[in-house]
Structure 1
Amino acid sequence: MLSSLHICNFALVQELDLEFGPGLNTITGETGAGKSLIIGAVQLLAGGRATPGSIRRGAKTCEVSGIIMLGGGDEQLRHQLEEHLQAAALPPCEDGELLIRRVLTENGSRAYVNGAAVTAGFLREIGEMLIDIHGPHDNQTLLQPSRQLSLLDTYAGLQQQVQHCRQLHEALLAIRREMAALRAEGMAPEDIELLAHQLKEIEQAELREDEEAELVERYRMATHAKRLLELVTQCRDGLAENDGSVVDQLGGFLRLLREIEQIDAARGEVFAADLGRISESIQELCVDLADYAGGLELDEEAFQQLEERLDLVQKLKRKYGGSLSEVLATAGRIRERLGRIRGRSDAIRKLQEREKEQQQAFLVACTELSAGRHAAATGLANAIEDKLQSLGFAKAAFAIQVSAAPVGASGADAVEYAFAPNVGEDMQPLKAIASSGEMARVMLAIKTVLSDADKVPILIFDEIDANVGGRVAIRVAAELAAVGSRHQVFSITHLAQIAAAGRQHYQVSKSVVADRTLVAVASLDDDGRLAEIVRMLGADSGSAAAQSHARELLQQAAQTSTSGKS
């Protein structure tokens, strides 16, 4: 239920804080007092259109916020709302409280849910789940064909069958999407031959992902082999091969050090050993150089093969990717695609068989659903028609028309609620009803009959009392109170009978302060209610008869509420 509403700088409202209770909340006041402003504020919370003209003159911004308590009476709705918030990555409802805030400026509007920014479209989505507004400011989900169908299904207890039908429909669509994807893979024989050739070209190359760097290095070395051999040969010759080489000279130096050793044994031995190690290192270097030179020798045939391998790698890279890893990945994709294409005919045949079986099961589910809807439509229509007659449409007729429609997730039926308010008039769809007063009472009748099936928790009725009086007014009041036992109901009314039926009563008034018009809303106590109902009866405040009548209305409403009669 809507537990609180804060309005700031909205039209003629400067600042207003209201607390609401469960059941029927009645809102009254003189004509033109501004009662519709409350509906306008709630409509903003439900994602309604926001315009800069709604901002109070002289203010830069307008703000409307409300707290909706999600009670434990409808776990399905609460779970659905929480899933909706989670899917949008929004904060959850703490302690079952949903906080909605709308801020209007001259440049547009911003919306927030539980403190996080959302779009007006998202606000409308959750608004449809939580609030129905019936009257001049319509947010009437019951006018939507899908909603009418859903309510009939709920009344008939067909929810599981509907869910089963949706699952079969989705499975059927999935099969068809898979077939479409396979057919899209269809190619001309020459295109398949080209793919096969490309795959063969890559596979025959027997590529390794890391071989390119190795080939490049080998080629670089091969192209410089002659110069490297020259350099190695010069080094070896100079170090050990030629006369007067470094090794020969070190031998002469070693003999000199041996002579030093004969004179100074301690130091000479060290010098000789050091030089000996140097000589051994040079000789080992010469061996390594010889081995290195042996590896540099590359015959023409091997060099040609290396060049051809490099050319092949570059060619494949140009055709199939910028690196060997990309070339190999291309081969994998071609291989997979050819596999799908070659197995496509068999796969399509199997899918066609599955499609036939799935479609048959889906059509059976649609037929069962249609039978259940036709069976329930008359009973629901008769119940609504009875309610309409008690609400002042003594000769009204109501029908629920179930007709064939293209098959879809919800089956193969189109449902439309039709209404004829007077004898001799043709049935018309609800959306064709011109009078908002008629519409509101039709909606009240439907809400009363379907109050257990309809899970929208907050209902707002405006002009429910249009062209109503006498006993019909008392009946309308009783029906509103009955719906209030299962929903939170707001009724903006000019009828004392309806005002008296409310569990909470709010009075809207207009005043002029400092040459500015202000709208205020007061929650009435018992004395305040009595005085307001006397005013609504059109009597002076001191009229004893009017006060007696007002008390009688309040007592009658209290008794009806206590006894649970509708």
Structure 2
Amino acid sequence: MLSTLYIENIAVIEKTNIDFTKGLNVLTGETGAGKSIIIDSINAVTGHRTSKDIIRTGSDSAFVSATFTNISKEIKEKVLDLGFQVDDDTLILSRELSLNGRNTCRINDRPTTVSTLKEIGIELINIHGQHESLELMSPESHINYIDNFAELSSVIDDYNVSFKELKKLNKLLKENGGDESQRLYEIDLLTFQVDEINNASLTVGEEEELQNEKKLLQNSEKVRQYLDKSKSILSGYNGGNACEMVDEASTNLIKASNFLEEAEDVSNRLSDLSYALQDISAEISDLIDELEFNPSRLEEIEIRLDEIYKLKRKYGNSIEEILEYGEKAQKKLKKLLNYDKDMAEAKEQYEKLYDITLEKAENLTSLRKKAGKEFSHRVEEEMKFLDMPNVRITVSIEQSPLYSKGKDKVEILISANPGETPKPVSKIASGGELSRMMLAIKTVLSESDTIDTLIFDEVDTGISGKASRKVGLKLKEVSKNRQVICVTHQVQIASLADNHNLIRKNVKGERTFTDVTTLDYNGRIEELARIMGGIEITENTKKLAEEMLNNN
């Protein structure tokens, strides 16, 4: 459950710490005090999309942390699988928002990403706000309620494996359904391209080798001159002989070593150099012998390079790209040549897979129809308790073309008055009826839901009097098995709380500050009296508030 929420520099909240308990927790306060900021902060720390606009004016960043205690075994295993440590079944999520757009997220003080926060957050908290009541107005969302109630996720996943493969085959058949003349044209073109590339017998690195050889042939006379000059310097063709001079110097040093011992080492080094120079001279001679200018070879290279250049203009910027193009063209050509056989096999495979997919979709329909009846009955019972005694709920399931959820178009229909035929929610439900219907659905779904914390943001919209009392009792009932946090304006709901937090706005100087206080017994009486009495709180209002609190 959510034990502590710490908020810093979010909107009008400079800094506050909110403690929650088991059971029913309520948040009350005057309109504009900042109740919605609490929900925004919880959304932020559980990885939902958040704007930097919520950062308090004058601050560079905002920070939220949420401490969860007694987390379930499933949550603990998920956190461990994601690579985070869990001590004492406690989990701390935190997120810092900056004006520069950066997000710093942590799980148990270890860095993480926003998406990982969300992945864990959706397992910890389920938030029901006014926008979810509006979702009831959209029939497209209704199928999710039935599927969640019937716990069909694994069945839908299995169906989707077949459906996705069916879509691929359908796409293949459509893409290859062109006219015969176009296919023959492509075969001729690809055959020419493949033959042209194959006949060229290209090898990777060939162009660079040819360019180097061409460069050498074009400059062979210069190279010969340089080699001859180097040979002359070493071998003495030009009035001196470097090899003999080094050898003579070494001999004289040997003689000197008879009287100067250190000269022997220098002599040995010169002797080694003499041998090396002789080897180098021989190698230069070999290079001269190998060097030849062959005009016909240069012409061959020019022709080959021109051929490569033309292929590059057509098929790629390098030999590697040309060969890659050839491989792809070869595969496409093979596919076109085997078109009739491949299409026949694809059609046969499509028909078989269609039957399998349709059978899985029909199984989903059967499961939904069965679940729909039970769902309708359960939601009706909950709504009757919530002061709608004549309500009738029907789940309409009509057939549609195959799609990612099967072949069903699902819509929840409602009749709030005797004698009226159930109709779409969007046509007849009032705001108060929507709120109660959503609470009823949430209550029914919560029985199969493993999430420990449910948050209801102004679920009492459009409800008052006896109905709001029933809503409070239902929230109290749900809170027996999980933690419930509720933002409310109704005294009938607030009086049932196990833990009551007051959100209060203050103005100091020219700045607005919001703080959150956990109320004691007397504080609760004052707040319940304020909700009932408005601006002026009388002793009678306080007595009524105390009586209501004691009765609960």
Q: TM-score, with normalisation over the residues of structure 1?
A: 0.69
1:413 is displaced (CA, Å) by 1.0
2:483 is aligned with what amino acid? Q
Asked if 2 retains the 8 angstrom alpha-carbon contact of 1:74 and 1:455, the reply is: no
| Farther off after superposition, 382-391 or 149-158 | 149-158
Which blocks of at least 5 consecutive residues in structure 2 are unaligned?
Answer: 232-236, 242-273
1:450 is displaced (CA, Å) by 1.6
Asked if 2 retains the 8 angstrom alpha-carbon contact of 1:317 and 1:327, the reply is: no
C-alpha distance in structure 2 between counterparts of 1:428 and 1:360, whole Å:
34
Asked if 1 retains the 8 angstrom alpha-carbon contact of 2:34 and 2:505, the reply is: no
SS of equivalent to 2:149: helix
Asked if 2 retains the 8 angstrom alpha-carbon contact of 1:384 and 1:449, the reply is: yes
Which residue of structure 2 aligns with residue 505 of structure 1?
500
Pair member with larger Rg = 1
1:166 is displaced (CA, Å) by 1.3
Which residue of structure 2 aligns with residue 557 of structure 1?
none
C-alpha distance in structure 2 between counterparts of 1:42 and 1:35, whole Å:
14
C-alpha distance in structure 1 between counterparts of 2:301 and 2:400, whole Å:
67
Which residue of structure 2 aligns with residue 153 of structure 1?
147
| Farther off after superposition, 10-19 or 413-422 | 10-19
User: Residues 216-244 of structure 1, C-alpha deviation per residue, up to 9 Å, x if partnerless?
Assistant: 666667778899999999xx9xxxxxxxx
Which residue among 310, 319, 323 is the counterpart of 2:311? 319
1:167 is displaced (CA, Å) by 1.4
SS of equivalent to 1:3: strand
User: Residues 411-445 of structure 1, C-alpha deviation per residue, up to 9 Å, x if partnerless?
Assistant: 11122223333335564444556643332221111
C-alpha distance in structure 2 between counterparts of 1:201 and 1:64, whole Å:
66
Which residue of structure 2 aligns with residue 553 of structure 1?
551
Which residue of structure 2 aligns with residue 25 of structure 1?
25
C-alpha distance in structure 2 between counterparts of 1:349 and 1:520, whole Å:
72
Asked if 1 retains the 8 angstrom alpha-carbon contact of 2:526 and 2:542, the reply is: no
Change (3 A) 1:182 1:113: farther
1:549 is aligned with what amino acid? E
Which residue of structure 1 aligns with residue 372 of structure 2?
377
SS of equivalent to 1:459: strand
Identity %: 21
SS of equivalent to 1:501: coil
C-alpha distance in structure 2 between counterparts of 1:41 and 1:324, whole Å:
63
1:504 is displaced (CA, Å) by 1.0
C-alpha distance in structure 2 between counterparts of 1:416 and 1:377, whole Å:
10
Change (3 A) 1:24 1:224: closer
Which residue among 440, 455, 460 is the counterpart of 1:459? 455
User: Pairwise mapping of residues 281-430 of structure 1 onto structure 2 (< 5 A)?
Assistant: 296=292, 304=296, 307-308=299-300, 310-320=302-312, 321-423=316-418, 427-430=422-425
Which blocks of at least 5 consecutive residues in structure 1 are unaligned?
Answer: 237-245, 251-277, 555-566
SS of equivalent to 1:450: helix
Which residue among 166, 171, 196 is the counterpart of 1:201? 196
Asked if 2 retains the 8 angstrom alpha-carbon contact of 1:25 and 1:504, the reply is: yes
Change (3 A) 1:393 1:221: closer
2:306 is aligned with what amino acid? Q
C-alpha distance in structure 1 between counterparts of 2:508 and 2:311, whole Å:
83
1:504 is aligned with what amino acid? N
Asked if 2 retains the 8 angstrom alpha-carbon contact of 1:148 and 1:416, the reply is: yes
Which residue of structure 1 aligns with residue 106 of structure 2?
114
1:23 is displaced (CA, Å) by 2.8
C-alpha distance in structure 2 between counterparts of 1:452 and 1:344, whole Å:
55
CA RMSD of aligned residues (A): 5.2
The question of 1:16 aligning with 2:49 is answered no
C-alpha distance in structure 2 between counterparts of 1:229 and 1:467, whole Å:
103
C-alpha distance in structure 1 between counterparts of 2:463 and 2:326, whole Å:
79
C-alpha distance in structure 1 between counterparts of 2:461 and 2:219, whole Å:
104
1:523 is displaced (CA, Å) by 0.7
C-alpha distance in structure 2 between counterparts of 1:528 and 1:206, whole Å:
91
User: Pairwise mapping of residues 113-192 of structure 1 onto structure 2 (< 5 A)?
Assistant: 113-114=105-106, 130-135=125-130, 145=139, 147-179=141-173, 188-192=183-187
Asked if 1 retains the 8 angstrom alpha-carbon contact of 2:454 and 2:483, the reply is: yes
Change (3 A) 1:409 1:45: same
Change (3 A) 1:517 1:324: closer
Which residue of structure 2 aligns with residue 492 of structure 1?
487
SS of equivalent to 1:402: strand
- Matched positions, count: 497
Change (3 A) 1:396 1:312: same
2:458 is aligned with what amino acid? D
1:364 is displaced (CA, Å) by 0.7
User: Residues 276-334 of structure 1, C-alpha deviation per residue, up to 9 Å, x if partnerless?
Assistant: xx9xx99xx99x97997698596xxxx54762454034223322355544444444343
User: Pairwise mapping of residues 25-44 of structure 1 onto structure 2 (< 5 A)?
Assistant: 25-29=25-29, 33-34=30-31, 37-43=34-40
SS of equivalent to 2:502: strand
Which residue among 464, 470, 478 is the counterpart of 1:468? 464
Asked if 1 retains the 8 angstrom alpha-carbon contact of 2:23 and 2:498, the reply is: yes
User: Residues 369-410 of structure 1, C-alpha deviation per residue, up to 9 Å, x if partnerless?
Assistant: 111111221221121111111111122222222222332111
1:416 is aligned with what amino acid? E
C-alpha distance in structure 2 between counterparts of 1:530 and 1:512, whole Å:
24
SS of equivalent to 2:389: coil
C-alpha distance in structure 2 between counterparts of 1:51 and 1:292, whole Å:
76
Q: TM-score, with normalisation over the residues of structure 2?
A: 0.71
2:460 is aligned with what amino acid? I
Change (3 A) 1:74 1:407: farther
2:40 is aligned with what amino acid? Q
| Farther off after superposition, 482-491 or 508-517 | 508-517
1:128 is displaced (CA, Å) by 11
Change (3 A) 1:428 1:10: farther
1:24 is aligned with what amino acid? L
Change (3 A) 1:70 1:293: same
Change (3 A) 1:215 1:130: same
